[in-house]
Amino acid sequence: MEKREKLYEGKAKIIYATDEPDKVIAYYKDEATAFNAQKRELYQGKGVLNNKIASLFFELLKKHNIPTHYIKQLSDREMLVYKVEIIPVEVVVRNLATGSIVKRLGIPEKTEFKPPLIEFYLKNDELGDPIICYEHILAMNLAKPEEIETIKKLALKINEILSEFLKEKGILLVDFKLEFGRLPDGTIVLADEISPDTCRFWDLKTGERMDKDRFRLDLGDLTKYYEEVLKRLEGR
């Protein structure tokens, strides 16, 4: 496998081409960003931790027959993934109310959602990733009705798998963001990453935040808690 030119650089990752047209390399960066990248900071080793954590989650989902873009972890910072056409819709699954939904709707903090709540956001930095509905997705031709249904079913199944797994590790999955993409044959697969950057993880006993909220809310010790998440996932 030969690593070639840089195809894209985002807030948390760099995507490189390979000598195989259908595969790319995702390189995890140390930069943390929040509030549409208005706040940013470097945390040494954060990319390594996120790559390892995301790889563990992708391996777990693979065992449960969830289709993803993940192929394998290549190094501490890199994973090999299938090249996909990203659907520009961020899917947020909420188990408890916190963050933006509390501010938007006045729902009391920690309200439990039964069943879990799914929200869609337009993946557009210039517009601030606004919340959108099913009809917006269709009107903007972002995805077909059957694709949206597939995405919703996958998102709920992923939530079920991860919530149960994390509970065994003493971690509560509060909410998380997913991105999906299309393979060349049109198959919908989970893409991007699952990590403390894209999830809210709370310690099951203490309620301590173990995710990027430590950066957003200036709570400190970000890498310390990412290391704790990895340690628990690995059973150490």
Mean pLDDT across the chain, nearest whole number?
97
Q: Which residue range forms the structural domain that includes residue 111?
A: 85-221
CATH of the domain at 173: 3.30.470.20
Note whether 70 and 60 are within 8 A (CB).
no
Could you give the CA distance from residue 197 to residue 201 in angstroms, rounded to a whole number? 10
pLDDT at 102: 97
Same domain, 99 and 204: yes
Whether residue 229 is contained in a domain is answered as no
Residues in the chain, total: 236
**Strand locations in the chain (E):** 3-9, 13-18, 23-28, 31-34, 39-42, 70-73, 78-82, 85-86, 89-96, 112-122, 131-132, 171-182, 188-191, 199-203
Instruction: State pLDDT tens for residues 23-62.
Output: 999 999 999 998 877 899 999 999 999 999 999 999 999 9
Could you give the CA distance from residue 86 to residue 68 in angstroms, rounded to a whole number? 12
Q: Does the pLDDT of residue 176 top 90, yes or no?
A: yes
Contacts of 105 (CB under 8 A, 6+ apart): none
Whether residue 235 is contained in a domain is answered as no
pLDDT at 35: 85
H or E stretch including 84? none
pLDDT at 169: 98
Same domain, 14 and 52: yes
Nearest residue to 194 (alpha-carbon basis) of 95, 23, 58 = 58
pLDDT at 37: 75
pLDDT at 26: 98
Whether residue 234 is contained in a domain is answered as no
- Select from 35, 50, 82 the last residue of a domain: 82
Same domain, 73 and 91: no
Instruction: State pLDDT tens for residues 88-129.
Output: 999 999 999 999 999 999 999 999 999 999 999 999 999 999
Same domain, 209 and 127: yes
pLDDT at 236: 78
HSE value, Cβ hemisphere, 13 Å, CA-based, for 130? 6
Q: Does the pLDDT of residue 1 top 90, yes or no?
A: no
